[in-house]
Chain A
Amino acid sequence: MFERFTKDARAVVTEAVVHAKRAGAETVEETHLLLALLDRKGSRGSFALTSLGLPARRGSVERALAEARRRGGLSRADADALSGLGIDLSEIVSRVEEAHGQGALKAERSGTGGGGTGRRRGLVRRSGHRPFTRGAKDLLTDSLRIALANRDRSIGDEHLLLAITARPGVPAEVLADHGVTYESVRRVLYGGGEAKAG
């Protein structure tokens, strides 16, 4: 799959690892891919983001991501679902922070999916290698699917961006709050969206 990635798409993948490292995360998450994508310049993905006015709001995006991280990496949709069960996520966050300090619930293992056993974590730490979470891997696979559906020969960072906006979760939610949705990205990249609809 990676041989079909453009230089920019590859850069996003490798820079995501740097973002994960900087954040002290054990795994490379979808959020790190998004942050790496925001760093790109002169690429198709950055063209789309710039057209949608995101660069000027980068600080706000980063704050929203940090806020979600503080909620244990749960999205607003997650919070709504929990509230449907009578569980007040913000109340839980504040109680945990009262007892264990600010940012105690900060997602450290988010995206590993349920039932993650943390296998080989010791090895991971010692070598300094950070594995991609299942969600982040799925995102890469989605980008391939999206490129194929658009009959694009290679996978560029714009396909990564489309894949992020198409997946439920914190990154898509935060982007949508800033006017970047699957539809709006398609519109700036492909025009109306109908012509090349996959």
Chain B
Amino acid sequence: MTEATDLAERAGDRDPRVGLRAVSALRRLLEQLEAVQVRSARNQGWSWQEIAAELGVSRQAVHKKYGRQ
């Protein structure tokens, strides 16, 4: 079994609560990590365009979310 399917199987653990809790926790962690990385990139002089390109989202999206920080 590959690592990816192993992960997928665990995320879909038989008890939906376990899987959902994991997904929710991961999403919140992701939000925090994104904020840290975006802030760091801005501090190093990156443009919104460059940050957006790395994140795979539009410049508008990332600016709307983190602008004025």
Of the four ranges (under 10, 10 to 19, 20 to 34, 35 or more), the interface on chain A belongs to: 20 to 34
Bound: A125/B35 CA distance, A: 17
**With an 8 A cutoff between CB atoms, is A105 at the interface?**
yes
**With an 8 A cutoff between CB atoms, is A116 at the interface?**
yes
**With an 8 A cutoff between CB atoms, is A78 at the interface?**
yes
Number of interface residues, chain B, beta carbon within 8 A = 25
Q: Using known A-B contacts A82-B25, A85-B11, determine if residue A118 contacts B66 with beta carbons closer than 8 Å.
A: yes
Q: Is the CB of B24 within 8 A of A118?
A: no
Interface of A is mostly: loop
Residue of B nearest to A123 (CB): B68
A74 to chain B, nearest CB (A): 6
**With an 8 A cutoff between CB atoms, is B53 at the interface?**
no
**Which residues 53-78 of A sit at the B interface, judged by CB distance below 8 A?**
72-74, 77-78
Q: In the assembled complex, which residues on chain B have CB atoms less than 8 Å from the CB atom of A122?
A: 67-68
Bound: A72/B66 CA distance, A: 17
B68 is contacted by which of A85, A119, A121 (Cβ under 8 Å)? A121
Q: Using known A-B contacts A100-B40, A118-B64, determine if residue A82 contacts B32 with beta carbons closer than 8 Å.
A: no
Residue of A nearest to B29 (CB): A72
Bound: A92/B26 CA distance, A: 12
**With an 8 A cutoff between CB atoms, is B14 at the interface?**
no
7 further A-B pairs in the complex, CB-CB below 8 A; given A73-B32, A125-B68:
A73-B28, A78-B21, A79-B25, A81-B22, A84-B18, A86-B6, A96-B33
A-B contact pairs, 29 of them (CB 8 A): A72-B32, A72-B33, A73-B28, A74-B29, A77-B21, A78-B24, A78-B29, A82-B26, A82-B29, A84-B10, A84-B18, A84-B22, A85-B7, A85-B22, A86-B6, A87-B29, A96-B33, A96-B36, A105-B36, A110-B28, A112-B31, A114-B27, A114-B31, A116-B31, A118-B64, A118-B65, A118-B66, A121-B68, A122-B67
